Amino acid sequence: MLKKKDKYNVAIMGATGAVGGQFLSILEERNFPIKELRLLASAKSKGKKLKFKNKSHPVEILTHKSFKGIDIVLSSAGASRSIEFLPSAVGAQAVCVDNSSAFRMKKDVPLVVPEVNPHQVENHKGIIANPNCSTIQAVVALWPLHKVAKIKRIVASTYQSVSGAGQQKILELEKQTEAIDKVVDNWMVGNHNVDKFLIKEFPYQIAFNLIPQIDVFLENAYTKEEMKLVNETRKIMEDDSIKITSTCIRVPVFFAHSENINIETEKKLSADEARKILSKAPGIRVIDDPAKHKYPMPLEAEGENEVFVGRIREDESIENGLNLWVVSDNLRKGAALNAIQIAELLIKHA
């Protein structure tokens, strides 16, 4: 367990990545009580320096000895590195909040979204898992409704930005978009295909396109990303009886994921009742005024901490159904912010 202190020694694994940058920004914004900050990354980041609170901090090469004296590890260095290095961090008496998929479905590892299941932080054995980005925003929006009306079934379609796949994917969308912009004279008749050498990170062109595959396909014909949403949602909401199906799509948006979520509940909820419940729920901002064309969009959610919910309407095809449009910045609430909120809970319970 974390020992009570005025300030804590914090290590960031994957400090030079997209989520690592958000860790630094949000830790500073929230004035997290840091005594020592240790930035860890692979050997290719050797010599780099990153700014935190107007001070330059060197990036150290991640090793099994990197965690001596560290209290809290915020990890976003990928599943393989988490599996390799986090046991060493736990052995050094650090508590780890891991943003990878490595430990999420382990029975003895809590999977936590503070707005939903904060009590689970007390059950850790050195590692707490941060859920997948698309799962986090979904459960923040669904949990308040589940508590009131009990959700029986969820049908989720996600429209996920390229930043969810890492920095190189962001650059690929940028390069492809620039290449198309240079050759197109008339958008109505122009060629929107890019040269094959610009397609490296994704299996197909992402600019001006949609790819209905995120991660690898499994034997059931769902992708790994789709099954993450299914399995993680049940674990976080502590209800294996919920029937869930999902389709995850990569879209040419730089930041923020969008989700169309259809739910069936045991108790009838009108759209107005759902709107009132969500308006009072923590971590949610309702934007829902169709008459004025007001609804959440990725550009609006980018850089924000809340989960945005709109297009709340009753599903007229079933008796107790609702449709929700859910948007959130996947690097903030979908990753770094949620992990830091978990760390804040650890300090609160220390």
Could you read off the pLDDT tens digit of each residue along the chain, which spans 350 residues?
789 999 999 999 999 999 999 999 999 999 999 999 999 999 999 889 999 999 999 999 999 999 999 999 999 999 999 999 999 999 999 999 999 999 999 999 999 999 999 999 999 999 999 999 999 999 999 999 999 999 999 999 999 999 999 889 999 999 999 988 776 555 555 567 888 889 999 999 999 999 999 999 999 999 999 999 999 999 999 999 999 999 999 999 999 999 999 999 999 999 999 999 999 999 999 999 999 999 999 999 999 999 999 999 999 999 999 999 999 999 999 999 999 999 999 999 98
SS3 9: strand
Within 8 A by CB and 6+ apart from 188, the residues are none
- 244/261 Cα distance (integer angstroms): 10
Q: Is residue 175 part of a domain?
A: no
CB 336 within 8 A of CB 26: yes
Is residue 198 a contact partner of residue 179, using CB atoms and an 8 Å limit? yes
Give a yes or no: residue 3 inside a domain. Answer: no
Tell me how far apart the alpha carbons of residues 228 and 135 are, in angstroms, rounded to a whole number: 8
232 and 114 co-located in one domain: no
> Which range of residues forms the domain containing residue 279?
135-161+210-330
Structure tokens at 80: 């393989």
Residue among 125, 102, 126, 98 at smallest CA distance from 112: 98
Structure tokens at 159: 């429209």
Asked if 112 and 104 count as a contact pair (C-beta separation under 8 A), the reply is: no
Are residues 146 and 272 part of one domain? Answer: yes
| 155 shares its domain with 50 | no
Tell me how far apart the alpha carbons of residues 2 and 297 are, in angstroms, rounded to a whole number: 39
Burial of 293 (0-12, 13-18, 19+ CB in 10 A): exposed
| Residue 342 shares a structural domain with residue 246 | no
What is the CATH number for 116?
Answer: 3.40.50.720
96 noted as active-site residue: no
Split into its structural domains, the chain has a count of 2
Question: Out of 96, 133, 146, 248, which one is annotated catalytic?
Answer: 133
Same domain, 51 and 150: no
Q: Is residue 173 part of a domain?
A: no
